[in-house]
Amino acid sequence: MLDFIIKASLRHRTLTLGFAAFCLIYGFILSRQLSVDVFPDLNRPTVHIVTELEGMAPEEIEVAVSRPVETAVNGAPGITRVYSSSATGISVVRVEFEWNTDLKSARVNIAERLGAIKSRLPHAAVPTLTPTSSIMGEIQMIGLSADDPSFDLMKLRTIAEWELRPILLSIPGVAQATVIGGDQEQVQILMNPIELQKRLMTPKDLADRLVNLSSATGGGFVTKGDKEWLIRNIGRVSNFEGIGETPIGTHLGRPILLKDVASVQKAPAPKRGDASVNGRLGVILMVQKQNTADTLVLTKEIDTRLANFRKTLPQGVSLEGDLFKQSDFIEAAIGNVMEALRDGTIIVTIILFLFLLNIRTTLITLTAIPLSLLITAIAFHYLGIGINTMTLGGLAVAIGELVDDAIVDVENVFRRLGENKLKDKPEPILRVIYKASSEVRNSIVLATVIVILVFVPLFALPGLEGRLFTPIGVAYVISILASLVVSITVTPVLCYFLLGKSKNVPEHDTVLVKILKNIDRKVLNKTLEKPLIILGFSLILFLGVTTLIPLMGRDFLPPFNEGSAMVEASVKAGISLEASSELAMKIERAILTVPEVKSTGRRTGRAEEDDHAAGVNHSEWEVALKRSDRTREEVFNDIRAKVKAALPPDAYFSLSQPISHRLDHLLSGVKAQVAIKLFGPDLRVLRQQGAEVRNTIAEVKGIVDLQMEGQSLFPQYKIFLMRSDLGKYGIVPGDAITSLELMLQGMPVTRIVEQDRFVDVYVRLEEKFRRSIDDIKKLSVHVLPTGRPIRVEEVADVFETSGPNMIERENLRRRIAISFNTAGRDIDSTVNEVKERLAESIKLPDGYSLEFDGQYESQKTAIRMVTLLGALSILGIFLVLAINFRSIFIAFQIMLNIPLALIGAVLAVYFTDRTFSVATLIAFITLCGISSRNGIMMISHYLHLMKEEGEPFSKEMIIRGSLERLVPVLMTASTAMLALTPLLFAKGEPGKEILHPVAVVIVSGLLSSTILDILVTPAVFFRFGRKAAERTVNRSNDELEGSI
């Protein structure tokens, strides 16, 4: 089959080159159209359902909204987990589906189920599915602020919400633009309870009469003759000044106007979130993209629209378009990886030229790089894969190997043409090229099959880890396969055109090759005599480095360098929004004193309709940084110190980076390695048992960052209606509750249209009547027919207490989580000890249970899967080699290269980062494939010499074979190594964070494998391989033959 392809390509040379040219052009065009993003699509199909009920406590939200919504959606096809968070005024239910679930049909299913329970939810509760996006979908943060601090924040919010937001939402690809900060304009009808009482009215009576405050209806048609007139009944309020004149009923025959019982004003709406820009109060818009949108293209479009919008802003209002921009990191990262690709290509060119000292051979070999890359781009297009740091990383790792197949082919053709020249009766050029290509095609294909086999475990990596890392493998394998195709089609044809008729085909080796061969000959003469010493030395080295493995740390991903920072801070729950915002401003001003800080955007609490249910005690800052001489660590330490000094001592804060922070959320939901989730019905028992779990494991060696998640308590006043007291006055509890809600929280009664925007009209009690709990106790909750008001304290027990600020539920059960990381001890033994201690000390009440979860669990599953498939893959490689060479010994001998490579790789990791991450694991996988190649090439050639040239199994044959294979072995190894040097010296540069450890492992592993391979393979083969080699040669005499 392969011989046929080589033969057909050489026969149809013009067609082959034409097809290659087509691939180049088509691939180039398609590569420009591939979507560009920071990471591959990591979104597990998830639907968020947000329901807002202003002012309601988490306990009420949980009962009234979260539980009915969870119950309704649970059981929809493909659901894996249902989470809910109930906080003050908001319920967020997160429904996770199996990977590969169609999100559109999942959303339809959820929407249908929500429709069915609408009547069971509170009247004001409207569950909303948030637009399809993800945490990684937050692509840009835009800030609006005024130079003059007295600028009306209501005006600023109106500009953001009614002018800028519609522009952003109209851009194709934008899923959502969340607005936070400033003041939302509201028409407020502030009731006076004394005036209401005088007219025997309750707050509820007033609210009922205001429902149709501003409305319009249709009146049908009036027809006269052949004409008709449409009738409109208009009762709409067009300006708020007229609202006070609205008649709301009569008392003792006299009309009552709204202004008699209430004052009407335009004022800021109550809010649960605030924002600032560069230390000034302002409004922030967070733009989320749709899943399929190209971040770079979309950001460019947003910037264009922002530039136009900026011109329309009132004087003194400034717009910051890049408080956070994901595209900045993408551009820097992609640019850096492209730079690594470019530098790698230049280095490969130099290496090739140094070895071959021939422009034509260098040119033929180099053709493999663009051709393989652009064929990969075509494959990407049809497989729906985009450009991101992972796929580009796969290509960057492969760049040195893309020329390997071509090198092996060109080197062999080049040498055979040279030999042919020296013959008395030279063979036809085409036949020489065919035979030379056919001679090496076996080892080329075998090496490629092994490279693919070693990547099989990576493709099976489950969950998000798989989503993140599989694209590296996909890009690598596709490009390597493309290079194989190029090496057996285009390379032989180019050899014919560029080398066939060339007079420059050398009859002798170049100077560099001569020197290398002389050294190798001397080394071989010594090592072939002492194979056991060589083998023993290698074994000691290998065993030595394996002892270093337990000394190294483990991490999921190397840290990114995003060029920006993210600060989060939480103070004790119970702080008011105003106080929290003031404290946040102080912190922001402190952050701004760090010289590298370019801009800051701060959010405190949450925005309306935001699925991030943060309390008002929580603030986060996106900090854009500019480059300086200081390292990232120095700048971060500076920020950390400033924030710490500005915060109260019992506050919590963390400093991370925006994209890493979002990735952490995506990976596990909790940032810790291990989470112990405690489930049960009673919050108090959960809190108490959670504390006992925390106390039990606190002293376990290796545990750090131990904390109990959420459920911190915040102060509450509870107005508990006493039914026996209500009964005395004949008050229906529901009426009393509605009156209390109306007076204290307020209710939207209608909306009025002003110009082209809607303004909510709220009814609430005038503030002077509800300033303190004592005022509230004296409020009238009901008016008896005699005119006697019934005060709150007469029918209710009013007391101060505390309650949870957030209630978390998972799969329909309440839960709290106790999380921790490990340090100085391996995670497995730490978790085992934790499990033992809990089994000894914790006796959970009936109905309560605990589960282990967190990154550790997913990593454990991933590592178990990779280990299992890794073992299968090694078995697969062994079988492929054994079947191909028809010898178990030869298969073993080739696989000996893997531990040889691991020696250098483990040593390098130990002396650099001293940390194993998933990136390192991938590098080890890659290394197994690449290092096997050297052994295959060397041993195939020994067998070729015995079969084709009748050489006996002798020391001379081993030396000859080794020397003839020295050049391709050194060339392939040095190109693969040196192509990665741009990544080797780029630790921490944007986009290269994951690739740097990959480069460290591959370069060092290849170095040790190549050096040791030159010593070990010939010596071991010479000492132990005679029988296997002779048996293989005798069994497959026709293995390498072919003709044209």
Partner 1 sequence: MKTAILMTTLVLSFTTPVLASDDHNHEAAVEAAPHGGTLRNAGDHKAEIVIEGDKLKLYVYDKALKPIKMEKAELKGNVQFPKEKSKPIIFKKSGEFYEALVKGISKTHRYDMHVNLEIGSKKTLVDFGIDNI
Residues forming contacts to partner 1 in the complex (CB under 8 A) are 59, 572-574, 684-685, 687-692, 695, 708, 712-716, 718, 720, 797, 799-802
Which residue, 75 or 681, is less far from partner 1 as judged by CB?
A: 681
Alpha carbons 279 and 577: distance in angstroms, whole number: 17
Closest separation in Å from C-beta 804 to partner 1: 10
Closest separation in Å from C-beta 843 to partner 1: 12
Closest separation in Å from C-beta 650 to partner 1: 8
- The length of the chain in residues reads 1044
Which residue, 820 or 1021, is less far from partner 1 as judged by CB?
A: 820
How far apart, in Å, are the Cα atoms of 962 and each of 39, 940, 1032? Answer: 44, 11, 19
Closest separation in Å from C-beta 797 to partner 1: 5
Closest separation in Å from C-beta 690 to partner 1: 6
Helix (H) or strand (E) holding 998: helix 995-1024
Using alpha carbons, select from 863, 725, 716 the residue that is nearest to residue 792. 725
Alpha carbons 172 and 178: distance in angstroms, whole number: 16
Q: Based on C-alpha coordinates, what's the Rg of the chain?
A: 37
Closest separation in Å from C-beta 789 to partner 1: 21
How many CA atoms, within 13 angstroms, populate the side-chain half-sphere of residue 475? 25
Closest separation in Å from C-beta 590 to partner 1: 26
Inter-axis angle of helices 918-948 and 1026-1035, to 10 degrees? 70
Q: What is the dihedral of CA 368, 370, 373, 376, to 10 degrees?
A: -80
Closest separation in Å from C-beta 738 to partner 1: 19
Closest separation in Å from C-beta 661 to partner 1: 24
CA 335 from centroid of its chain's CA atoms: 19
In this structure, the number of other CB atoms found within 10 A of the CB of residue 254 comes to 8
Closest separation in Å from C-beta 857 to partner 1: 24
Closest separation in Å from C-beta 258 to partner 1: 37
Which residue, 69 or 678, is less far from partner 1 as judged by CB?
A: 678
Q: What is the dihedral of CA 626, 632, 634, 635, to 10 degrees?
A: 30
DSSP SS3 for 444: helix
Interacting residues of 118 by C-beta distance below 8 A, sequence separation 6+: none
H helices of 912-954, in order, are: 918-948
Which residue, 59 or 419, is less far from partner 1 as judged by CB?
A: 59
Closest separation in Å from C-beta 722 to partner 1: 8
Using alpha carbons, select from 566, 630, 569 the residue that is nearest to residue 329. 566
Tokens linked to 74: 């649970």
Q: Please name the amino acid found at residue 596.
A: E
Say if residues 509 and 357 touch (Cβ distance below 8 Å): no
CA 897 from centroid of its chain's CA atoms: 35
Which residue, 556 or 714, is less far from partner 1 as judged by CB?
A: 714
In this structure, the number of other CB atoms found within 10 A of the CB of residue 378 comes to 18
User: In b/e form, how buried is each residue of 794-819, taking b as 16+ CB within 10 angstroms?
Assistant: bbbeeeeeebbbbbbbbeebbbbbbb
Closest separation in Å from C-beta 805 to partner 1: 9
Strand ranges (E), 861-913: none
Which residue, 217 or 688, is less far from partner 1 as judged by CB?
A: 688
DSSP SS3 for 704: strand
Say if residues 826 and 707 touch (Cβ distance below 8 Å): no
Alpha carbons 548 and 844: distance in angstroms, whole number: 41
Say if residues 713 and 803 touch (Cβ distance below 8 Å): yes
Which residue, 57 or 237, is less far from partner 1 as judged by CB?
A: 57
Q: How would you list the strands of the sheet with 757-765, edge to edge?
A: 262-268, 185-191, 757-765, 747-754
Tokens linked to 47: 């639907």
Closest separation in Å from C-beta 73 to partner 1: 28
Closest separation in Å from C-beta 151 to partner 1: 36
Say if residues 334 and 294 touch (Cβ distance below 8 Å): no
Which residue, 742 or 795, is less far from partner 1 as judged by CB?
A: 795
Long-range contacts formed by 686-693: CB under 8 A, 24+ apart: 686/711, 686/814, 686/815, 686/816, 686/848, 687/711, 687/804, 687/816, 689/842, 689/844, 689/845, 689/848, 690/816, 690/818, 692/841, 692/842, 693/818, 693/838, 693/842, 693/850
Q: Please name the amino acid found at residue 274.
A: D
Alpha carbons 528 and 536: distance in angstroms, whole number: 14
Which residue, 357 or 685, is less far from partner 1 as judged by CB?
A: 685
Say if residues 626 and 638 touch (Cβ distance below 8 Å): no
Closest separation in Å from C-beta 687 to partner 1: 4
